Structure 1
Amino acid sequence: MSYLYKEMQNEDYAILNSKLKSRDSIDILRFAHETYGKNLVYACSFGAEAMVMLDLLSKVQKDAQILFLDTDFHFKETYDLIEKVKQRYPHMKIKLAKSSLTPEEQENQFGAKLWLTNPDQCCQIRKLDVLEREMAPFDAWLSGLRREQSPTRANTEFINQDNRFKKVKICPLIHWTEEEIWMYIELHRLPYNPLHDQHYPSIGCTYCTKPVMPGQDNRSGRWQGNQKTECGLHAPTKGEK
Structure 2
Amino acid sequence: MENISEVAAYYNEKFCDSGPEKILEYFLNGYRGKITLATSFGAEDQVLTHMVSAIDPKSEIFTLDTGRLPEETYRVWERTERFYGIKIKPFYPDRNALERLVSEQGINGFYESIEKRKACCRVRKIEPLKRALGGKKVWIAGLRHEQSVTRSDARVVEYDEAFGLIKLNPLLAWSTQEVWDYIKRNNIPYNELHDRGYPSIGCAPCTRAVSEGEELRSGRWWWESPEHKECGLHIKESIKAD
Could you tell me the TM-score, scaled by structure 1's length? 0.90
SS in 2 for 1:38: coil
Among 3, 10, 19, the alignment partner of 1:8 is: 3
Aligned partners of 1:69 and 1:96 also within 8 Å: yes
Task: Return the letter of the residue paired with 1:176.
Answer: W
Identity of matched residues, %: 35
> Paired residue for 2:148?
150
Note the 1:102-121 alignment, pairs <5 A. Answer: 104=99, 106-117=101-112, 118-121=116-119
Aligned partners of 1:64 and 1:93 also within 8 Å: no
Task: Return the letter of the residue paired with 2:230.
Answer: E
Among 92, 99, 106, the alignment partner of 1:98 is: 92
> Paired residue for 1:24?
19
Among 169, 172, 184, the alignment partner of 2:170 is: 172
- Deviation string, structure 1 residues 70-118 (Cα, Å, up to 9, x no partner): 000000000000000110111x341111001275553124433132231
Unaligned runs of 5+ in 1: 2-6
Taking the aligned partners of 2:45 and 2:134, their CA distance within structure 1 comes to 22
Taking the aligned partners of 2:24 and 2:66, their CA distance within structure 1 comes to 27
Instruction: Count the aligned residue pairs.
Output: 232
Among 72, 95, 101, the alignment partner of 1:77 is: 72
Does 2:83 correspond to 1:88?
yes
Task: Return the letter of the residue paired with 2:72.
Answer: E
Aligned partners of 2:8 and 2:166 also within 8 Å: no
- Deviation string, structure 1 residues 49-81 (Cα, Å, up to 9, x no partner): 111111111121111111100000000000000
- Deviation string, structure 1 residues 24-47 (Cα, Å, up to 9, x no partner): 111110111122101101111100
Unaligned runs of 5+ in 2: none
Aligned partners of 2:159 and 2:166 also within 8 Å: yes
> Paired residue for 2:53?
58
Task: Return the letter of the residue paired with 1:145.
Answer: L
Aligned partners of 2:198 and 2:208 also within 8 Å: yes
Could you tell me the TM-score, scaled by structure 2's length? 0.90
Aligned partners of 2:4 and 2:166 also within 8 Å: no
Structure 1 pair 151–89 and aligned structure 2 pair: CA distance change class (3 A): same
Taking the aligned partners of 2:109 and 2:36, their CA distance within structure 1 comes to 29
Does 2:235 correspond to 1:235?
yes
Structure 1 pair 12–166 and aligned structure 2 pair: CA distance change class (3 A): closer
Taking the aligned partners of 1:96 and 1:9, their CA distance within structure 2 comes to 27
Taking the aligned partners of 1:112 and 1:149, their CA distance within structure 2 comes to 29
RMSD, aligned CA: 1.7
Deviates more, 1:177-186 or 1:113-122: 113-122
